[in-house]
């Protein structure tokens, strides 16, 4: 009896051996699944870390490239004018908008190159500009000097750099020499800026760009060393610079920047960990670390990135707990299925006794269901899927066993309103028995599709009612409609004016920006030809060439002047493109334009600044040199004389010192106006600098005519001036030489007139003297030298 019971017990427990085996396999699978999920999570963290490194490196590189363009434009200021005053430099830097456009930049400066024999005259010149304590530091003797003469903004810590000789310091000198010899941008190594206080210094560096005399870059290094005039430069405090570039981008990363390849404390330019609070520092650093090399105009930085302890949280990548729980659920499902199978094995034998008729009926229905060309599904009254054919599985990209039991609202896009709206539609279906609606469903692969659901409610005598649904895919049709809507929005919301015409140039549509720029409402331009916008500034040949180019090449682009509805002229940058049919015939033209009037006005203002003196608006040296060449060519062509006059005001310094620089500037403006009024239209008067002027008298027939003109000018200048509430008087001393009696080039002609002016000064001032070539050992032409007193 006991033996029989033991056998029965052994047989009963033997049934559960497959369950234990499945449980062991599931546990092993779960272990390996966790290992794979953890490796995948760490790999995603590293990819995100590398992405952040590349993005931050790119941001730093782009910002440094923008600063390089700023230095090139600063050098262009000196190339555009032979003499850049402190006021000119201040105006230029203010136009840059350092605080808004270049945060982190300490300023933009200019360091002048000074040979040792010119040092004293340079110091006296700067002191005469209102800086009596100005010196070049350090004061140790050396063959060459440089001095920071301009640095804007000129206040605060930047005042400490005024007069500093950067060429005397080895690190700065190496960068300045490299910029001078290469004619290009150069960065220095690690330095401490003179602007920094000794109490809290920061690592710093400087960027230099050379400025050469006459504005052009010589061809060879030897020529560049001879022609060097100075350097425009930008000083950087590295903490301020990187804080401005990065902002709060390094909340979970540590960035260290080293000069060149060395990564020790001596080469450290920046360390973001200096800004971490105590709590962040106590958390330590992670195991991810990368280094990047950043090239900077002949030098390079080494950027070292290290993961902080909070990096994984900042990356918003969650640990794979959800996937692990899902894997655990899936792993142990076979255990429960196996146990349920063993328990229900006996009851499953009942299925063997189904009738043959039921099998045949189910086979016919299944064949029709699975081979139907449309997507079909069966739902209960609550929207739960009871069955689905292969076409529905392919449409949603789910296997059939994963679809059964899910609710249709689970496949809707993540929108709470969509789920609630579908619930109302189910209630209507249960009430009326018919439903047709449009739904957007989410596929397993991650995409979405738009379908039309056609549902019918089937009531049964036995069992719950079933909703039979057919789904029709309309995704492509919806995409086509979306593209049409996008094209309409682009046309309506574009910031450029857009017009569409037929083949004859008749406007058939115009966007709101076109109406805003031209001032014409849309209904006033539809049906009209584009020529109603003509400004009258282009001739018929211009429009003929435009249409000829459009017919042959299919596109035309250029600037064109048009007129608004209120009569105001404007210039636009216009692109016209031909739209052709399948036969290649132009059926429509699309015009796209933007208003560039303000840009053109700004360009004209820049040209005015480049060729005229900003105070008196007289031609500067650049324009004067060009007109000098033209005047000499005219003399040769007309066989006439050219009078070259060099003028210097007498008594101007006393007025400028006693009444102030503002009064001195006003006096120079008045003198310039009188000089301009006393000359003919073909003559040219130029301000050379300070109180010195030059005059070209073109087409002079005789020296007596030149004398009469000079007498008028001297008398006109000598009249009193109402300045600062007082009547003041100045005289003028002039030197004259006449071409071709003086057969020299423009530089020597102006120098000869200057020498004659100094003779006039020595002879008592307020007079003019003609150049006497014999004083310099040159041959004397008959009647070449004579003088006259005003």
Global confidence as pTM: 0.42
pLDDT for residue 281 is more than 60: no
The answer to whether position 105 is within a domain reads: yes
Tokens of 581: 């049919």
The answer to whether residue 39 sits within a structural domain is no
Q: Is the pLDDT of residue 113 over 90?
A: yes
Strand partners, 206: 235
Whether the CB-CB separation of 729 and 722 falls below 8 Å is answered with no
217-270: pLDDT as tens digits: 899 999 999 999 999 999 998 888 888 888 766 667 888 999 888 888 888 988
Mean pLDDT, residues 129-147 taken together: 91
Average pLDDT, the chain: 82
Domain end position, chosen among 581, 601, 621:
601
Please state, in angstroms and as integers, the Cα–Cα distance from residue 241 to each residue in 60, 73, 107, 666, following that order: 10, 20, 12, 42
Range 520-549 average pLDDT = 87
Place of tokens 């941001």: 59
pLDDT at 453 over 80: yes
pLDDT of 235 reads 93
Structural domains in the chain (count): 4
Is-contact 15 342, C-beta < 8 A? yes
422 and 380 housed in the same domain: yes
Q: Are residues 652 and 578 in the same domain?
A: no
Q: What is the mean pLDDT of residues 343-349?
A: 59
Question: Is residue 600 pLDDT above 60, yes or no?
Answer: yes
- Cis preceding linkage at 153, omega within 30: yes
CA distance 648 to 668: 11
* Residues recorded for the chain: 790
Residue 650: C-alpha distances to residues 502, 643, 647, 689, 758 (Å):
72, 22, 10, 15, 12
Mean pLDDT of 539-554: 87
Q: What is the pLDDT of residue 230?
A: 95
**Final residue of a structural domain among 601, 627, 653:** 601
Stretch 285-295: mean pLDDT: 81
Whether residue 558 sits in one domain with residue 422: no
State pLDDT tens for residues 30-49.
Answer: 788 777 887 887 788 888 88
The residues pairing with 466 across neighbouring beta strands, listed in sequence order, are: 458
Better-predicted residue by pLDDT, 615 or 310: 615
In a domain, 341, yes or no: no
Average pLDDT over residues 483-496: 80
Distance, CA of 189 to CA of 200 (rounded, Å) = 20
Which residues, other chains included, contact 462 with Cβ-Cβ below 8 Å and sequence gap of 6+? none
pLDDT of 64-82, one tens digit each? 888 888 898 888 888 887 7
Q: Say which residue the tokens 């850049």 belong to.
A: 84
What is the rounded average pLDDT of the residues 79-87? 83
What per-residue confidence (pLDDT) applies to 64?
87
CATH code of the domain covering residue 723:
3.30.70.270
DSSP state of 743: -
Q: What does DSSP assign to residue 162?
A: T
Lowest mean pLDDT among 114-123, 304-313, 762-771: 304-313
DSSP type of residue 164: B
Is it the case that residue 487 has pLDDT exceeding 80?
no
Q: Which residues have CB under 8 Å from 221's CB, separation 6+? A: 181, 182
The percentage of the chain sitting over the pLDDT mark of 70, rounded to a whole number, equals 86
Spatial CA neighbour of 206 closest among 230, 182, 181, 241: 241
Work out whether strand 721-723 and strand 466-473 pair parallel, antiparallel, or are unpaired: unpaired
**For residues 143 and 118, what is the distance between their CA atoms, to the nearest angstrom?**
11
Whether 649 maps to a domain, the answer reads yes
Confidence of residue 131 (pLDDT cuts 50, 70, 90): very high
Q: Are 684 and 624 in contact (CB under 8 A)?
A: yes
* Percentage of the chain modeled with pLDDT above 90: 22
Which CATH number characterizes residue 394's domain? 3.30.450.20
- Kindly state whether residues 595 and 619 are assigned to the same domain: no
Residues 595 and 617 in one domain: no
In this structure, of 437-451, 477-491, 552-566, the range with the lowest mean pLDDT score is 477-491
Residues 461 and 521 in one domain: no
Report whether pLDDT(560) > 50.
yes
Which residues lie closer than 8 Å to 596 by C-beta, 6 or more apart?
Answer: 559, 571, 572, 573
Q: Examine residue 616 and state whether it is found in any structural domain, yes or no.
A: yes
DSSP designation for 152: E
Dist. CA 441–CA 445, nearest whole Å: 12
Task: Please give the Cα distance from 187 to 208 (Å, whole number).
Answer: 6
| Helices and strands, counts by H and E, the chain | 25, 27
Judgement on whether residues 132 and 191 belong to the same structural domain of the protein: yes
Which H or E run includes 37? helix 17-80
What CATH code is carried by the domain that includes residue 172?
3.30.450.350
Q: How many CB atoms lie within 10 A of CB 80?
A: 17
Q: Which residues of 156-190 are buried (b: 16+ CB within 10 A; e: fewer)?
A: eebeebbbbbbbbbebbbebbbbbbbebbbbbbbb
Q: Determine the Cα–Cα distance for residues 778 and 785; give it in Å rounded to an integer.
A: 12
Inform me whether the pLDDT recorded for 784 exceeds 50.
Answer: no
Is 277 part of a structural domain of the chain?
A: yes
565 within a domain of the structure (yes/no): yes
Q: Is there a single domain that holds both residue 397 and residue 536?
A: no
Residue 12 predicted with pLDDT over 60: no
Would you state the pLDDT for residue 358? 56
Domain boundary among 547, 567, 601: 601
Q: Containing domain of residue 437, as a range?
A: 356-476
Alpha-carbon span 190 to 186, nearest angstrom: 13
Residue 168 lies in a domain: yes
Contacts of 164 by beta carbon, 8 Å cutoff, 6+ apart: 137, 147, 148, 194
- Does one domain contain both 620 and 597? no
232 and 293 both lie in a single domain: yes
* pLDDT of the residue at 715: 92
Contact (CB, 8 A) for 289 and 306: yes
Q: How confident is the model at residue 638 (pLDDT cuts 50, 70, 90)?
A: confident
pLDDT at 201: 78
What digits encode the pLDDT tens for the residues 713-768?
A: 999 999 999 988 889 999 999 999 999 988 889 988 999 999 999 999 998 888 99
Residue 67 CA to residue 236 CA, distance in Å, equals: 11
Q: Are residues 264 and 155 part of one domain?
A: yes
Residue 765 CA to residue 790 CA, distance in Å, equals 9
Q: What is the mean pLDDT of residues 629-651?
A: 90
- DSSP for 219-238, written as a single string: SSHHHHHHHEEEEEEEEEEH
Residues 256 and 361 in one domain: no
Whole-number Å distance between alpha carbons of 773 and 755:
10
């Amino acid at each position: 009896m006991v033996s029989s019971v033991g056998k029965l017990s052994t047989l009963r427990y033997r049934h559960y051996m497959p369950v234990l085996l499945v449980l062991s396999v599931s546990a092993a699978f779960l272990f390996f699944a966790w290992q794979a999920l953890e490796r995948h999570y760490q790999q995603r963290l590293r990819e995100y870390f590398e992405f952040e490194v590349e993005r931050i490196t790119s941001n730093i590189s782009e910002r440094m490239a923008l600063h390089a363009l700023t230095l090139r434009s600063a050098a262009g200021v000196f190339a555009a004018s032979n003499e850049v005053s402190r006021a000119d430099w201040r105006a230029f830097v203010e136009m840059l908008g350092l605080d808004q456009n270049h945060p982190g930049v300490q300023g933009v400066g200019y360091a002048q190159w000074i040979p040792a024999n010119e040092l004293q005259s340079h110091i006296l010149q700067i002191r005469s500009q209102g800086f009596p304590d100005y010196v070049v530091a350090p004061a140790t003797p050396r063959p060459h000097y440089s001095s920071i003469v301009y640095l804007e903004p000129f206040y605060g810590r930047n005042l400490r750099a005024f007069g500093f000789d950067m060429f005397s310091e080895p690190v700065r000198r190496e960068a300045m020499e490299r910029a001078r010899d290469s004619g290009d941008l150069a960065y220095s190594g690690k330095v401490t800026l003179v602007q920094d206080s000794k109490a809290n210094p920061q690592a710093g560096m400087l960027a230099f760009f050379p400025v050469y005399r006459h504005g052009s870059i010589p061809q060879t290094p030897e020529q560049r060393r001879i022609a060097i005039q100075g350097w425009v430069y930008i000083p950087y405090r590295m903490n301020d610079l990187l804080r401005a570039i990065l902002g709060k981008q390094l909340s979970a990363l540590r960035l260290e920047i080293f000069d060149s390849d060395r990564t020790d404390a001596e080469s450290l330019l920046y360390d973001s960990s200096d800004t971490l609070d105590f709590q962040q520092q106590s958390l330590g650093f992670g195991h991810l670390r990368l280094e990047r090399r950043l090239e900077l105009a002949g030098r390079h930085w080494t950027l070292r990135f290290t993961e902080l302890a909070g990096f994984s949280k900042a990356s918003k990548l969650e640990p794979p707990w959800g996937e692990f729980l899902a894997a655990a659920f899936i792993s142990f499902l076979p255990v429960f299925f196996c146990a349920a199978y063993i328990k229900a094995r006996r009851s499953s034998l009942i299925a063997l006794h189904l009738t043959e008729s039921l099998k045949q009926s189910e086979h016919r229905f299944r064949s029709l269901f699975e081979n139907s060309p449309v997507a079909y599904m069966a739902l209960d009254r609550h929207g739960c899927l009871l069955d689905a054919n292969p076409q529905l599985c392919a449409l949603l990209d789910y296997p059939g066993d994963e679809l059964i039991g899910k609710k249709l609202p689970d496949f809707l896009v993540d929108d709470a309103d969509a789920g609630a709206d579908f619930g109302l539609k189910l209630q209507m279906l249960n009430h009326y028995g018919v439903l047709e609606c449009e739904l957007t469903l989410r596929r397993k692969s991650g995409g979405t599709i738009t379908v039309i659901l056609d549902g019918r409610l089937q009531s049964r005598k036995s069992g719950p009612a079933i909703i039979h649904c057919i789904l029709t895919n309309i995704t492509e049709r919806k995409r086509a409609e979306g593209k049409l809507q996008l094209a309409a929005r682009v046309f309506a919301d574009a910031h450029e004016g857009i017009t569409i015409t037929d083949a004859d140039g008749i406007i058939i549509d115009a966007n709101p920006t076109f109406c805003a720029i031209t001032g014409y409402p849309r209904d006033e331009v539809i049906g009209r030809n584009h020529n109603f916008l003509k400004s009258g500034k282009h001739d018929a040949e211009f429009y003929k060439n435009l249409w000829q180019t459009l017919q042959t090449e299919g596109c035309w682009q250029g600037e064109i002047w048009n007129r608004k509805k209120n009569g105001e002229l404007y210039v636009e940058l216009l692109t016209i493109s031909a739209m052709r049919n399948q036969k290649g015939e132009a059926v429509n033209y699309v015009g796209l334009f933007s208003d560039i009037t303000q840009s053109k006005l700004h360009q004209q203002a820049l040209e005015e600044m480049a060729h005229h003196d900003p105070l008196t608006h007289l031609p500067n040296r650049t324009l004067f040199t060009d007109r000098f060449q033209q005047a000499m060519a005219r003399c040769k062509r007309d066989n006439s004389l050219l009078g070259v006059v060099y003028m210097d005001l007498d008594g101007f310094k006393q007025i400028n010192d006693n009444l102030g620089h503002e009064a001195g500037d006003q006096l120079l403006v008045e003198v310039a106006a009188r000089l301009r009024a006393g000359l003919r239209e073909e003559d040219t008067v130029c301000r050379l600098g300070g109180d010195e002027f030059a005059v070209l008298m073109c087409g002079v027939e005789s020296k007596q005519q030149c004398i009469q003109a000079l007498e008028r000018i001297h008398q006109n200048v000598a009249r009193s001036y109402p300045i600062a509430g007082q009547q003041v008087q100045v005289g003028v001393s002039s030197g004259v030489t006449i071409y071709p009696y003086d057969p020299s080039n423009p530089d020597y002609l102006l120098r000869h007139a200057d020498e004659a002016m100094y003779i006039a000064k020595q002879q008592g001032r307020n007079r003019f003297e003609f150049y006497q070539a014999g004083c310099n050992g040159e041959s004397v032409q008959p009647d070449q030298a004579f003088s006259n007193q005003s």
